[in-house]
Amino acid sequence: MPAFLPVAAEESDMTDALFLSREEIDGLATPADYVGAVRDGYRQVGEGAPAHPRQKFRRSDPEGMFTSYAALLPETGAMGGYMYGAGFGAGDAWFVTPLFDAESGEPLALLDGASMNPFKTGAAGAVAVDELAREDATSLAVVGSGSQARGQLHTTATVRDFEDVRVYSPTREHREAFAAEFDDHLEATVSATDSSAEAVSGADVVITATKASEPVFDGDELEPGTHVTAMGQYEEGSRELDVRTIERATYVPDLRDRVTYDAGAFLAALEDGAVTADHVHAELGEVVAGNDPGRTSGDEITVFDSGGTGIETVAAAHMLYERAEDRGLGSPISLSPASEALTGRLPASE
């Protein structure tokens, strides 16, 4: 096939965007900073800003998944989202975040999104805890001990004064290392338990951040007044929460459109007949914006079902972009507008 080259122009309209590497992103923001940015993003969506559930494309040979999702936050002045490929024979994943100006449409930045992922996702969970958990919540159970569980705990610890944190994951070494790490980091007492039931028992807040495809605790074990944030599964046929938990709870997803698309726990409860589509109380953004109430009583069980959205991605990415600009971080990359790149092109001579 012949190559194509642009005709030289007298003046170039190329736009400089900022590339931010993982090393440049690390340390740019605190967990509380992420929570503040993400909270404002959800408020904007609750007031009508557009955001859509993830799209997933799968391949079986070699096995892999390509995922994307997006949001436009007009008050932040940014739009964009997340794109990542996982697997495809490489046995790893790459997270890329393109960020655009919401008024001009011009590219602002391209971020290596891996290092911000646990914090921006954790921030969504923390916003939900702040909106839905009891004000006097002091005990927290974490089921899972990977990077996402770490991000959830780092951020959630900024919205409540926890005194007691219990963690469970199937591998003893992992849960004990997690507990030791956070026992040094937090003012709360952090300990490992030998079962999820032991961790969940008596907890005011429960966070699940696992790769499990089956429920990780019994919903009948939840005491009245508990809040649950589930963020480890987001596809039909896989779930961290059982039907009983969904049935008992005031159910709040990140996006309503996601509930019958890939919210595995809700879909299982729907198929079981335990709930109907009307069981969705509100989107998180609607609660943050004050359009719908969050918790209405001390003995209410609440659930936040997090599948990952462009809301927290765009909000966090724009915050990081602004901080990087202030500190002179990042490398410029030049992009051509369509008016220049798609016109006046001639085939190169072979």
Q: Which pTM was predicted? A: 0.92
Class of domain 134-307: alpha beta
The residues, ordered by sequence, that sit 6+ positions from 341 with a Cβ below 8 Å of its Cβ are: 6
% of the chain surpassing 70 pLDDT: 93
The fold for domain 13-116+311-338 equals ornithine cyclodeaminase, domain 1 (3.30.1780)
> Which residue did the predictor score with more confidence, 212 or 49?
49
* pLDDT for residue 1: 42
Return all residues near 187 (Cβ < 8 A) that are at least 6 apart. 161
Closest CA to 285 of 329, 317, 315: 315
Q: How does pLDDT run across 124-149, given as a tens digit for each residue?
A: 999 999 999 999 999 999 999 999 99
Enter the tokens of residue 223. Answer: 């005491």
Domain boundaries, the chain: 13-116+311-338, 134-307
Burial of 131-146, coded b for 16+ CB within 10 Å and e otherwise, reads bbbbeebebbbbbbbe
pLDDT digits (tens, 9 = 90+) for 199-211: 999 999 999 999 8
The whole-angstrom separation of Cα 83 and Cα 85 is: 7
Long-range Cβ contact pairs of 168-175 (< 8 A, separation 24 or more): 168/141, 168/142, 168/143, 168/192, 168/193, 168/194, 168/195, 168/196, 168/198, 168/199, 169/143, 169/144, 169/145, 169/210, 171/145, 174/145, 174/146, 175/145
Mean pLDDT, to the nearest integer, of 260-267? 90
